[in-house]
A and B are shown apart, each in its own frame.
Chain A
């Protein structure tokens, strides 16, 4: 190898000592979590598509009220929480701690609202007789409840974990314990939870609307 070639390798961003992806390890770690988590949700969504396609007369029980109205409001709440989250990250980066904390608190409030509306919707369905292994509409499609509660349940767990995570970050950032980078990384997680809902909402709710 000639000296010029060796020089070229040592100067490349992959030669070590620099950051070739231009992100810090926390951000990179969160991206890796997001990759694996998105594959988990993909597998669940595809298994839902599988049971749905292989089940004749899949029930389509959702009406405008309560399911579609509530899930639309939940979508609005989650999208708005993403906006306040990205504004919190921007404020944190520009060193405006109070503004960042306020936006983080708004995001947490939206997250809690999402979980509460979702919980009332679950309770309504459970009262109608939907469980993970049976539903009142079609006995030959026992996995309707399994698919619904499995997907929305895992997503709700993610939102709940996100709310706790953001609360901890908010507290730590307010105390000047942690940096703007912590806020940004928690933002990545929160936007991912929002992104997953962008698939659950049309596939699980809109495709199960009762035909007119």
Chain B
């Protein structure tokens, strides 16, 4: 009974106006990304900005559309840190190696 009550409380969060606002922000950030793609920006800076904006967009989707903001902290801790950790581990292994390939001596 205790758990059922909690579930009902969780489900009452979020309304149409909030979702519309999030949608507009997602569109604005997407437009900014497309605009940036046509600007002359140094490639490392470009990747950093684009990935940063994508992370903001995914955070908005996770928090509001996927309701993670209104769920218990335990669910967030179960979902997000593990993905961040695994992605970081993959990056640590692969990026130095791919960059090494471009710096091989020319024969």
Contacts and interface: CB of A to CB of B under 8 A. Distances in A.
Nearest to B31: A72
Classify the interface of chain A: helix, strand, loop or mixed.
helix
A176 interface: no
Interface in A153-212: 184, 187-188, 191-192, 194-195, 198-199, 201-203, 206-207, 209, 211-212
A1 interface: no
Contact of A35 (B58, B72, B79): B79
B68 to A, nearest CB: 9
Contact of A19 (B7, B58, B86): B7
A87 B66 contact: no
B45 interface: no
A2 interface: no
Contacts of A53: 95, 98-99, 101-102
A68 B101 CA distance: 30
Interface in A57-72: 68, 72
Contacts of A131: none
A49 B94 contact: yes
B40 A50 contact: no
Classify the interface of chain B: helix, strand, loop or mixed.
helix
A133 interface: no
User: Which of B61, B66, B79 lies at the interface centre, i.e. has the most chain A CB atoms within 10 A of its CB?
Assistant: B66
B51 A22 contact: no
Contacts of B15: 90
A187 B90 CA distance: 29
Given A38-B83, A87-B19, A198 B57 contact: yes
Interface stretch (A73-81, A108-116, A120-128): A73-81
B50 A54 contact: no
* CB-based closest 4 A-B pairs: A54-B101, A206-B37, A53-B98, A19-B3
Given A34-B79, A202-B54, 17 more contacts: A22-B6, A22-B71, A35-B83, A42-B83, A42-B87, A49-B94, A52-B98, A53-B98, A56-B102, A76-B27, A79-B23, A86-B14, A90-B19, A93-B11, A188-B66, A195-B62, A198-B61
Interface of B: 2-3, 6-7, 10-11, 14-16, 19-20, 23, 26-27, 30, 33-34, 36-38, 40, 46-47, 50-51, 53-54, 57-58, 61-62, 64-67, 71-72, 74-75, 78-79, 82-83, 86-87, 90-91, 94-95, 97-99, 101-102
23 contacts: A21-B71, A21-B75, A22-B3, A22-B6, A22-B72, A23-B7, A35-B83, A39-B86, A39-B87, A46-B91, A54-B101, A72-B30, A82-B26, A86-B65, A191-B61, A195-B66, A201-B33, A202-B37, A202-B50, A202-B51, A202-B53, A207-B37, A212-B38
